[in-house]
Structure 1
Amino acid sequence: MKSTLSRLALAALLVTGSASASDARDVGISPWGPDDEIGRLNLITPESRAAILSRIAGGKSYDLSVDYFIGMPSWQAAGDPHYRIWMTHTPHGTVIDDPLHLGEEMNEHVSYTGAAVSMYTHMGTHIDALSHFGLNGKIWNGFEASEHLGDRGWSVAGAEKIPPLIARGVLLDVAAAKGMEMLPDGYRISRQDLVETLEKQQLSLQEGDIVLIRTGRMKHYNDAEAYMNNPPGLGMAAARFLVEESGAMVVGADNLSFEAFPSEVENNYVPLHTYLLAEQGAPIMELVYLEELSQDRLYEFAFIGGSLKLRGADAAPIRPVALPLRDH
């Protein structure tokens, strides 16, 4: 464990630099070797999985994902597509079209429904692959777009490389810690906010945690305009606290797009995304449903989630669950 921490500290040192000299920052080089495509997800080991699974208490399970529907909140500023679903087969249409040449009698007896969907990879509850954002033409571990990005996506660090996530999950309910149902529009979560939340929850972070931040924004999920209008998010010092100081493996939140805007860093409009994904190799989850965990004050749990293996993609939908733990 100490050797892993030393490797991570060295990797952080290699990319840290000055906060004001954002143009001098570069991608992180993996302490897990030149072929590494999953970054901090290497912290998932047979031993770490066994440790958290052995503590599951049973009983209630918590679904941490959101519904997909036409009109759902999504990132549109860069022109990405909305979510769409359309029927490819309906019982009445099948009787008329008879696509399988089964005859009217059979089609009236056996009803047939089918559908297709179209969506941006960063919609709904999803996890960013390490290829999502980079610096200076490269992504995590120095992989260059000029060598590894083709018309069918990335040949390295794509969403299909993300393993099943089985780890200790921690909820940092920042909104509740401040006595609010929802953080104000545009609120930038600070390092001190996270420290105070941990103190109020009587909890500490551990290396390899999946840390989820609740802003309360999910209360607006059914109103896309309200949900997307200047949401609260994390600041740079908070992100550094989670990863470099506390050892988080994956970070996530109930908002879109995790960080607060406008950027704190000159010459980088998404400094948290580049810091986490490109520099630290830490995947990001967004639009995580945390309301039930907050209601039940479940701050520590087993996190189990599998994302779709979209080959070469920069993100994928994920359906995570949280399971309560027995005391040590």
Structure 2
Amino acid sequence: MKTKKNFFQVLAFQFLIWGAQAQEVGQSPWGPEDEIGSLNMMTDSSRIQILSQIGSGQVYDLSVDYFVGMPSFHSLGDPSYQYWLTHTPHGTVVDNPNGMGEAMNEKVSYTGDAVSMYTHMGTHIDALNHFGLNGLIWNGFSPEEHLGDKGWKKTGAEKIPPIIARGLLLDVRALVDSFPPNYRITIQDLKACLKRQKTEIQKGDVILIRTGQAKHYEDAAHYLHQYPGISLAAAQWLVEEKGAMLLGADNLSFEAFPPEKEDNWVPVHTYLLAERGVMFLEQMMLEDLAKDKVYEFAFIAASLKLRGASGSPMRPIAIPIN
């Protein structure tokens, strides 16, 4: 009987440990219907405040080009970027699709094109439905109730508001000559970066991390190979201790691989999206900001309103502030 009692005591203790370690989706402090998470930190007042600090007409484009052969998640079965012409000047003369005749089509040239792509290609933002935990996404929304054949009814990319906020570049790449393969950026790295730049994180900031990986963007094999990314502890520090509203980086998938946890293959993704309701941008172009040592700026961006989608292309810009 004593042995049986001890067994159940050990088992109960183990369940307590498992419960403490279990990851669960977060319930939004902004209410049961919240679909944008930490972007609720942005207000009319905060937008006006950062816009009033703009001290330059110079604009930095923080997005990459889209082209056939660009880096992609094809290894996971997602489609690569495809581009094709639907109309060409010579083709319209031959086909006469508008019925206007040869003379008109020789005079007025016509070019049209189309693209097919995965929504998580190029510079893009991850919506809160991109990754979940234990069958739920942010704020407890379930696929059984909220996922239809044409996408999520909750937290889709169309719900993401235009973003205007203080941006801060953390040029971690400037700290080292090179990163070891699959390097995970630490809290100490971020603190050293802030000290080197003489900058401070403010609550509600957009934090952009430069790893230098964007220099290899035109070479997909190099760009995808053993790239550095943020560690889970560093992401937690930015969100929980420093109050970051939105994160971003210039690598493929924000975090590094292989995963740092045995029970979760994307622990940073699930922590940010499912547990904390914090969106982030991937595959950014931060080289010009770093070259000019522009660390503080007005961050302005908007995603495509792709209804129900788990992410969307985005073209963010940075304008230096006083």
TM-score by length of 2: 0.93
Partner residue in 2 for 1:141? 139
In 1: Cα distance, 2:166 partner to 2:235 partner: 18
Query: Which has the higher Rg, Structure 1 or Structure 2?
Result: 2
Residues 231 and 222 from structure 1, CA distance in 2 versus in 1: closer, same or farther, beyond 3 angstroms?
same
Partner residue in 1 for 2:260? 264
Deviation of 1:206 (Å): 1.1
Partner residue in 1 for 2:110? 112
- 2:299 is the counterpart of 1:299: no
SS in structure 2 of the partner of residue 304 of structure 1? strand
Deviation of 1:59 (Å): 2.5
Partner residue in 2 for 1:59? 57
Decide whether the 8 Å contact of 1:137 with 1:146 is kept in 2.
Answer: no
For 1:175-254, list aligned pairs within 5 A: 175-178=173-176, 180=177, 182-254=178-250
Aligned length: 307
Deviation of 1:77 (Å): 2.3
**TM-superposition CA deviations, 1:97-138 (whole Å, max 9, x none):** 011101000000000000000000000000000000000111
**TM-superposition CA deviations, 1:258-309 (whole Å, max 9, x none):** 0011111221000000000000100010011000000001111000001100
Residues 22 and 284 from structure 1, CA distance in 2 versus in 1: closer, same or farther, beyond 3 angstroms?
farther
For 1:43-58, list aligned pairs within 5 A: 43-58=41-56
Tell me, which stretches of 5 or more residues in structure 2 are unaligned?
Answer: 1-15
Residues 69 and 19 from structure 1, CA distance in 2 versus in 1: closer, same or farther, beyond 3 angstroms?
farther
Which amino acid in the other structure matches residue 279 of structure 1?
E
SS in structure 2 of the partner of residue 77 of structure 1? helix
In 2: Cα distance, 1:294 partner to 1:109 partner: 47
Residues 272 and 310 from structure 1, CA distance in 2 versus in 1: closer, same or farther, beyond 3 angstroms?
same
Decide whether the 8 Å contact of 1:125 with 1:317 is kept in 2.
Answer: yes
Deviation of 1:177 (Å): 2.3
In 2: Cα distance, 1:140 partner to 1:244 partner: 17
Deviation of 1:183 (Å): 3.0
For 1:4-19, list aligned pairs within 5 A: none
Partner residue in 1 for 2:122? 124
Partner residue in 2 for 1:68? 66
Aligned-pair identity in percent equals 62
In 1: Cα distance, 2:168 partner to 2:230 partner: 16
Decide whether the 8 Å contact of 1:263 with 1:271 is kept in 2.
Answer: yes
Decide whether the 8 Å contact of 1:19 with 1:265 is kept in 2.
Answer: no
In 2: Cα distance, 1:227 partner to 1:20 partner: 37
Runs of 4+ in 1 over 4 A off after TM superposition: 18-23
Decide whether the 8 Å contact of 1:215 with 1:253 is kept in 2.
Answer: yes
In 2: Cα distance, 1:262 partner to 1:60 partner: 39
Which amino acid in the other structure matches residue 285 of structure 1?
L
Decide whether the 8 Å contact of 1:183 with 1:217 is kept in 2.
Answer: no
